[in-house]
Amino acid sequence: MQKAIEELITDELDTLYRGALFLCGGDGTRAEDLLQRTAAAAYRSGVGGGGSDDPHPLERLMVQQFVRDAGRPAPMGPSTPVERPAQPASFGTMTPDRLHRAAARLPALARAALWLILLRRWSYADAARALGMDRDGLLTTLLWRDAFVAALVQTGGSSTRSAAE
């Protein structure tokens, strides 16, 4: 049975809110603005009217709205390569604040790509489609992953959980 847009949003709002906070670097006001624009766009585009096999239409619309708000930047990687420590990263205890501070250091497109791929576990192909990128564009954008991981590690203090474990 098709779902009304209100029901879709009710089902997914907490996830969308977490995503909006990540995309907006933890700024709750901007996150709410993004969600409101996403909801309006979802209604206009007929989300909830059935006939689509898109499993995450609201999330897709949200990242698209976010990228559009950022002026549709071109994909680009970090200007300088991120120095990788010898050992794989240790993340310690994760908090929303750490996550948002690390996200805030990234350009908009990188936040959107990492939200979909790293946190929401979308396939590369689905993420590239949602972001309107080709393969090379997405791979270039994902070069920011190391910067994101480094920022998370820097904000983590003494770590207790290591990828090497």
Partner 1 sequence: MTQRDPLSCTEARWSLWPPEKPRLHAPESDRAWEHVRSCRACSRHFREDRAFVEALGDLPPIPAPISTRERIFHVIAEARAAIPMRTLRSLSDRRLAFGASAVVVITIALSVSVLVPKPGTPDTTASITSGAVVEDYLRRTVGEDYIDTTDPGVVTRFLERELGVIISPLSVPGLEIERVEICLLSGERAAMIRYTLNGEHVSHYVLPTPSGPEKGPSLTGAGSPATGGTLPVVTWTSPGAEHAALGDLDPSALLRLVQGRLDE
Binding interface with partner 1 (CB under 8 A): 1-7, 9-10, 13-14, 16-18, 21, 32, 35-36, 39-40, 42-44, 48, 88-96, 99, 117-119, 121-125, 135, 139, 149, 152, 161-165
3-state DSSP percent of the chain in helix, strand and coil, to 5: 60, 0, 40
| Shortest CB 64 distance to partner 1, Å | 17
Nearer to partner 1 by C-beta: 15 or 70?
A: 15
Least separation in angstroms between residue 103's CB and partner 1 is 13
| Whether the Cβ atoms of residue 112 and residue 23 lie closer than 8 Å to each other | yes
Give me the least distance between CB of 161 and partner 1, in Å please: 6
Q: Distance of CA 51 to CAs 7, 97, 134, Å?
A: 16, 39, 26
CB of 3 or CB of 101, closer to partner 1: 3
Q: Are 75 and 127 in contact (CB under 8 A)?
A: no
> Which tokens is 151 given?
């920022």
Which residue, 108 or 149, has its beta carbon nearer to partner 1? 149
What residues does 162 pair with on adjacent strands?
90
Smaller CB distance to partner 1: residue 35 or 133?
Answer: 35
The residue (of 93 and 154) whose beta carbon lies closer to partner 1 is: 93
Write the CB contacts of 43 (distance below 8 Å, at least 6 apart in sequence). 5
Collapse the DSSP code of 6 into the 3-class scheme (helix H, G, I; strand E, B; otherwise coil) and give the result: helix
Q: Min. distance of Cβ 70 from partner 1 in angstroms?
A: 21
Q: How far is the CB of 146 from partner 1 (least distance, A)?
A: 10
